[in-house]
A and B are shown apart, each in its own frame.
Chain A
Amino acid sequence: MELICPAGTPAALRAAVGAGADAVYCGFRDETNARNFPGLNFSHEELRSGIAHAHAHGVKVLVAINTFARAGALDLWRRAVDAAVGAGADALIVADVGVLDYAARRHPDQRLHVSVQAAAANPDAIDFYVKAFGVRRVVLPRVLSVAEIAAIVREVGCETEVFVFGGLCVMEEGRCSLSSYATGQSPNMNGVCSPASHVHYREQDGELISRLGAFTVNKFSAGEPAGYPTLCKGRFQTAHATGYLFEDPVSLDATAMLPALRKAGVTALKIEGRQRGRAYIERVVRNFRTRLAELDDGVPAPLDDLVALTEGQSTTAGAYRKSWR
């Protein structure tokens, strides 16, 4: 299985390459990708030199152009496609059917992957992308159990890629409007969930209070691990109790599921975290490279080795185990 690793900056790309990535994914410094954070991402020149560095080490570079193009602003997404192809990207990761159509027509030889943002979660949806745009790989949404992934792999005419580590969405990938509701901006349209411009933290009597726009999202007691200030991971008061209604502030760690994912026929394993620092990328990538090597030798993988790097200092196997059904 290939190891697909995040990079938010050229330094992170070099760290991922050095730590054993098979491919690195990254995006431009604008709203065409779903990690449009201040100070993050690549200029066109940085992408060209980053690709050259990766290729010199036998590593592929996949460019995420995975937000949904706005009417009246399509040129931004088309220019991103042209620039990525011109820079020598090994594949484009795309969600929007309009952008996919443009890429497939304009650059028929360019390898295309369907982004997780497209939420293609069944064989019919995936085969639509294969037949309509000639996509070669689909990144599966994080809503599927391993058995469901195995069933999809058997039926679809393209490769599959699944997330194995990092932040978890509320499982409405590409469709979530919680950030838009609170801030007017979303990962789908603007490339940023819970934008920093709308986030406020305040320390009060040892407690950390996080707010997003007009909403108090969470209150962490002294010493309690914190999480991102997203509504999906907010702690809410209800008539029954106070707690996490949608999702706990935890991170995905599918280390223990690697044998099952390989048996399911998955092509590639993806690490989330283009917004994270080089320290995270270097350590997570190296850890999974080691796990994959051990997998071939049949050595059991230790659990929670990376937990100190995770949101909420806690991990879950997420939908892969799907114990709530």
Chain B
Amino acid sequence: MPASGSSTSRVPRVFALAGQVLPLLPLQPMLGACIHGIQRRHPQIFDRLGCHATKRYGLDPTDLPFAFLLEPRRVNPTVTAVRSLPRQLDIRITGTLAAFIGLVDGSCDGDALFFSRDIQVEGDMEAAVALRNAIDEAGIDLVAESVAWLGPLAAVAGPILQSVIGAPPGQHRSDPISETGSWN
């Protein structure tokens, strides 16, 4: 029974290769601006996260040569690009960058991505569920947040970044599984 993960769009290889050799440090100002923009525009996220705002979330895009460490503290939340995730994580979520973007902007359903194996989740499931629900409620346009610091250029940079990331995992199947072969 194939899951739909095989059809998940991925970041083009040329960008993935560039990420292998370029330093990550220049990413930090953009990530900092992004997370603080989200903090300002979507403060309700922290209410929904509750005690899980102090957890350490490892976000591991399978089509990028680096990962992100998210610490969504109510005061001074951070997201850091890292070559490899630290061992001391509360939760680790793995999937394509497009799947992460789809989860954050609400165009993908987290449970459906899990059922189709487009994302994998390990660790503190309460923290994972709280984060999923908090960001689904907020409806964050992550691409727009990522380029907002560019000011007037954001209108040009946003579509370019979206085309690099690709479309979120498809939610249509062409080969539905009928109810056969079951014990029931």
Interface residues of A (CB under 8 A from B): 8-12, 37-40, 195-197, 199-203, 208, 220, 223-227, 241, 243-245, 247-248, 250, 275-280, 283, 303-304, 307-317, 324
Contacts and interface: CB of A to CB of B under 8 A. Distances in A.
A196 B129 contact: yes
| Residue of B5, B48, B102 with most chain A CB atoms under a 10 A cut-off | B48
Interface string B159-184: 00000000000111100111100111
B112 interface: yes
A40 B110 CA distance: 14
A248 B182 contact: yes
A313 B173 contact: yes
Nearest to A275: B111
Contacts of A278: 106, 109, 136, 139
Interface of B: 1-6, 48-50, 52, 102-103, 106-112, 114-117, 120-122, 125-134, 136-139, 170-173, 176-179, 182-184
Contacts of B116: 225-226, 308, 313
Given A38-B50, A223-B117, A11 B1 contact: no
A116 B148 CA distance: 47
A224 B3 contact: yes
Contact of B122 (A8, A37, A201, A303): A201
A238 to B, nearest CB: 10
B133 A312 contact: no
A17 B81 CA distance: 38
Contacts of A283: 171
Most chain A beta-carbon contacts within 10 A, residue among B52, B120, B182: B182
Contact of B4 (A208, A244, A308): A308
A124 B108 CA distance: 43
A308 B172 contact: yes
B19 to A, nearest CB: 23
B117 A280 contact: no
B129 A226 contact: no
A226 B115 contact: yes
A284 B98 CA distance: 22
Contacts of B132: 39, 277
Nearest to A221: B1
Contacts, number: 155
Contacts of B102: 279
B111 A280 contact: yes
Contacts of A307: 173, 176-177
Contacts of A203: 120, 122
B96 to A, nearest CB: 15
B115 A196 contact: no
Contacts of B129: 37-40, 196
Ordered nearest first, which 5 A-B pairs have the shortest CB separation? A39-B133, A304-B176, A39-B130, A38-B130, A9-B137
Given A223-B5, A279-B107, A310 B133 contact: no
B115 A225 contact: yes
A280 B120 contact: no
Which of A202, A280, A303 has its CB near the most chain B CB atoms (within 10 A)? A280
B3 A196 contact: no
Nearest to A198: B125
A308 B170 contact: yes
A278 to B, nearest CB: 5
Nearest to A8: B133
24 contacts: A8-B133, A9-B48, A9-B136, A10-B137, A11-B136, A11-B137, A11-B138, A12-B137, A38-B127, A38-B130, A39-B130, A39-B131, A196-B126, A201-B120, A201-B125, A223-B117, A224-B117, A226-B114, A250-B179, A304-B178, A307-B173, A308-B171, A311-B115, A313-B115
B118 to A, nearest CB: 10
B179 A226 contact: no
B1 A308 contact: no
Nearest to A203: B120
A313 B111 contact: no
